[in-house]
Amino acid sequence: MKGRQRVERLMQAVFWLCACAAVAAVVLICVFLFSGGAPALREIGVWQFLTGVRWEPGRERFGVLPMIAGSLAVTLGAVLLGVPVGLLTAVFLRFFCPLRARRVLGAAVGLLAGIPSVVYGFFGLTVLVPAVRRVFGGSGYSVLAVSLVLGMMILPTVVSVSADALAAVEAGYYEGARALGAGHERSVFRVLLPAARSGISAAVTLGLGRAIGESMAVVMVAGNQAVFPHSPLDGARTLTSNIVLEMGYASGLHADALIATGVVLFAMVMLNNLIFALLRRRRMKK
C-alpha cells in the first residue's frame, strides 16, 4: 500500500513539473516577444506601427495594417471554406458512414494532419494557383488560393475535434429525440449538433489558430505584396509570411520591427482564444 502511494505521489510530482514546464515555456515566449518588440514599438510608435499602410524597411517605414488585413482575409476565407466541410465530414463519419468506410476515411483524415505544410504549399502552387488563374483571371496568387490551401490544412483539426465532441454527447439525447418522433437526420442536426457546440467551438478555435499561424504554404501561394487585398483575387502578405520573408537579412530597427510583428500576431491569437472562451462561458451559463 505504501509503495502504491509513493508511486502516486511521484507521478503527481511529474505531472506538476510538466504543467509548470508548459507554463514556463509560454512565459518565456511572451518575455522574448515583448522584450524584443518593445524597442521598435517605442521608436516607431504603437499607433503608427498598427495603422501604418506602408512597409518600406529601406525608408524605415513600418506599418503592419496591410499584413493584419491580409492575415484576417486568408483566415476568414479558410474558416468559411474549411469549417463547414470539416464539420459535415465529422457528422458523416460519426452518424452516417458504414464502419468499414469509417476506418478508411478516418485514416485518410489522419494522414492529412501528417502532411508537411510545404507539401500543401507546393500543391497550391502547382494546382490551385493555375486553376484560379484559368477560371477567374489574374495572376492566381491570391487570397482565394491561400484560403483554399488553408481550408484543406485545417480540415484534420476540425474533423477530429468535432467528431470527438459529437461522440461525447450522451446517448440519451439521441434516444429522447427519436422517442419523440424525430427522424435520424433531424435528431443529429437539431439535437446532437447543438449539444456538442462547446466542442465544435473548440474545433473552430484550433482551426483559426492553425490558419492564422501558417507561414510556408502562405508564402508559396499568396503573392506576398504588402498591400491591402481588395478582393479574393488580389495577392496579400500575412504577418507570418512577412516575418519569414525578411527575418533572414533584417538588422537593427528592421529586425526589431519584425519581432514586433510577432507580438501583433501573438496578440491576435490570444484575442481569438479569449473571444471563443467568453462565448463558450456565456453559452454554458445559458
pTM for this prediction: 0.86
DSSP assignment of the chain equals -HHHHHHHHHHHHHHHHHHHHHHHHHHHHHHHHHHHHHHHHHHH-HHHHHH---EEGGGTEE--HHHHHHHHHHHHHHHHHHHHHHHHHHHIIIIIS-HHHHHHHHHHHHHHHHS-HHHHHHHIIIIIHHHHHHHH-S-S-SHHHHHHHHHHHHHHHHHHHHHHHHHTS-HHHHHHHHHTT--HHHHIIIIIHHHTHHHHHHHHHHHHHHHHH--HHHHHHSB--SS---STTS-B--HHHHHHHHTTT--THHHHHHHHHHHHHHHHHHHHHHHHHHHHHHHHH-
Residue ranges per structural domain of the chain: 2-51, 64-285
Report the CATH fold assignment for 64-285. MetI-like fold (1.10.3720)
Q: For each of the chain's 286 residues, which pLDDT tens digit applies?
A: 566 777 788 888 889 999 999 899 988 988 888 888 888 888 888 888 888 888 888 788 888 999 999 999 999 999 999 999 999 999 998 888 888 888 888 888 888 888 888 899 999 999 999 999 999 888 889 999 999 999 999 999 899 889 888 888 888 888 888 888 888 888 888 888 888 888 888 888 888 888 888 888 888 898 888 888 888 888 888 998 888 888 888 788 888 889 889 888 888 888 887 877 776 676 665 5
